[in-house]
């Protein structure tokens, strides 16, 4: 195992339970003490010749990465990505961002490199265009704003929660964030209000893209030339086909404007899931990757993600897509972060619940939020329940974990039933 020395204490506590033979550590900051038998990466590099042994590989078949899914909708699975998958996706991004200048761009790397988004859109893409990586150990808004001010990144790939944090920082005006030329938002839906405010603050372009671990990950992105469409994930990447198919059998291609499951195919699509043949057969059918996301395509070929199939709420027989409700909630000037989930209801089967974090200094009532939503959407879509929280559970890349909230709700109801 190769790891940061700062994280070694976590491994040391369980190493005796594992078959690990060697542990190699390196530092991101001051050197930390470890056990005597642990090897140092820098010492190994210094003690060996610079020419590594040549290893014969088949780029189209041999695995480069076992990329584990986030597990936001179930048990995490090992995605088998080949060398060809990763190289293809990095080159697709290069072609999409054709305005980037070779060897001149500076990428703020606040995304973890072990996550498929950070690995491809920051690290692999940076290798392709010879960009500088400005590394920050984790996303801390004060540190990130200082880093932008001091090191002048030109690109800032991130998740919507990162841009929310920039938009609502009370002292953002004290930092110079004008170096940012463009940003790609991924991992979660980008609310239109967040996009517009971030562009106003920085003067840069913020566009929404889409991807998943099973596709290395990028399959769609909005153009940077001014033809982006708010609320969409844009167009398929070069050499990528995409379609919307019926939700039942997944065999009928739907017409523009109709909602169904998004399917994609291209050189970035995985070989399958590690040691999971049944799941692989379900996800890869007839050369297409079935994403599990509900989408629609407009007449010009722009795609919009409505929600994940597993996140769709069926309330009293009506289909409610959480993103539709979240977009309305983000229009409320008091709300900083919002997520909507379906929670068990004895009468409706499921009901719509909104979990909210208010902006600093703001107050609101449950009734006020419900009425705000009912004025802007059909009554069956509006939340019936509202919970105000100090924070929302998030993944390592800032994706709000709706599943965690649903599990909390189920446990709460079980305790009440007792």
Residue-wise pLDDT for 338-361, tens only, equals: 999 998 887 778 899 999 999 999
Residue 73 has pLDDT above 60, yes or no: no
Report the distance separating Cα 11 and Cα 13, nearest Å.
Answer: 5
Mean pLDDT of 162-168: 93
Read off the pLDDT band of 72 (50, 70, 90): low
Angle, alpha carbons 306-311-314 (nearest 5°) = 95
% of the chain exceeding 70 in pLDDT? 98
Residue 339's pLDDT is what?
94
Mean pLDDT for the chain overall: 92
Mean pLDDT of 115-121: 94
Which pLDDT tens digit goes with each residue over 363-374? Answer: 999 999 999 999
Max mean pLDDT among 127-131, 229-233, 377-381 falls in 127-131
Residue 121's pLDDT is what?
97
Is 64 in a helix, a strand, or coil? strand
What values do phi and psi take at 376, rounded to 5?
-120, 0
Q: Phi/psi class of residue 68: alpha, beta or left (left: φ > 0; alpha: ψ in -120 to 50)? A: beta
Domains and CATH numbers, the chain: 2-46 (no CATH), 63-308 (3.40.50.12780), 312-417 (3.30.300.30)
Residue 337's pLDDT is what?
94
Which pLDDT tens digit goes with each residue over 8-59? Answer: 999 999 999 999 999 999 998 889 999 999 999 999 999 999 998 899 999 9
- In this structure, the number of other CB atoms found within 10 A of the CB of residue 260 comes to 22
Angle, alpha carbons 337-338-343 (nearest 5°) = 150
């Amino acid at each position: 195992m190769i790891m940061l020395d700062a994280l070694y204490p976590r491994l040391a506590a369980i190493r005796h339970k594992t078959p690990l033979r060697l542990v190699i550590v390196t530092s991101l900051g001051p050197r930390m003490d470890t056990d005597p038998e642990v090897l140092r990466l820098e010492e190994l590099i210094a003690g060996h010749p610079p020419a590594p042994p040549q290893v014969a590989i088949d780029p189209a078949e041999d695995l480069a990465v076992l990329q584990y899914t986030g597990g936001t909708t179930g048990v995490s699975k090992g995605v088998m990505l080949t060398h060809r998958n990763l190289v293809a996706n990095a080159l697709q991004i290069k072609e999409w961002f054709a305005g980037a200048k070779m060897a001149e761009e500076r990428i703020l790397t606040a995304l973890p490199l072990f996550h498929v988004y950070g690995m491809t859109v920051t690290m692999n893409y940076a290798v392709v265009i010879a960009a500088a990586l400005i590394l920050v150990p984790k996303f801390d808004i004060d540190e990130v704003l200082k880093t932008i001010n001091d090191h002048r990144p030109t690109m800032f790939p991130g998740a919507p929660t990162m841009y929310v944090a920039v938009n609502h920082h009370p002292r953002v005006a004290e930092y110079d964030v004008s170096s940012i030329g463009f940003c790609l938002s991924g991992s979660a839906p980008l609310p239109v209000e967040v996009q517009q405010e971030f562009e106003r603050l920085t003067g840069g372009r913020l566009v929404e893209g889409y991807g998943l671990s099973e596709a290395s990950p990028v399959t769609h992105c909005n153009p940077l030339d001014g033809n982006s469409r708010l609320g969409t994930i844009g167009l398929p990447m070069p050499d990528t086909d995409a379609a919307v198919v019926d939700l039942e059998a997944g065999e009928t291609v739907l017409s523009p404007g109709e909602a169904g499951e998004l399917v994609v195919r291209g050189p970035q699509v995985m070989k399958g899931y590690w040691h999971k043949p049944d799941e692989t057969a379900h996800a890869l059918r007839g050369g297409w990757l079935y994403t599990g996301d509900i989408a629609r395509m407009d007449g010009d070929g722009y795609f919009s993600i409505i929600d994940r199939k597993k996140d769709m709420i069926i309330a009293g027989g009506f289909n409610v897509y959480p993103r539709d409700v979240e977009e309305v909630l983000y229009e409320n000037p008091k709300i900083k972060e919002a997520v909507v989930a379906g929670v068990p209801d004895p009468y409706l089967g499921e009901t719509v619940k909104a979990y909210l974090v208010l902006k600093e200094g703001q107050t609101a009532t449950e009734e006020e939020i419900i009425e705000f939503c009912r004025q802007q959407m059909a009554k069956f879509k509006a939340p019936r329940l509202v919970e105000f929280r100090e924070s929302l559970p998030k993944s390592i890349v800032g994706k709000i974990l709706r599943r965690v909230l649903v599990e909390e709700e189920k446990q709460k109801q079980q305790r009440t039933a007792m």
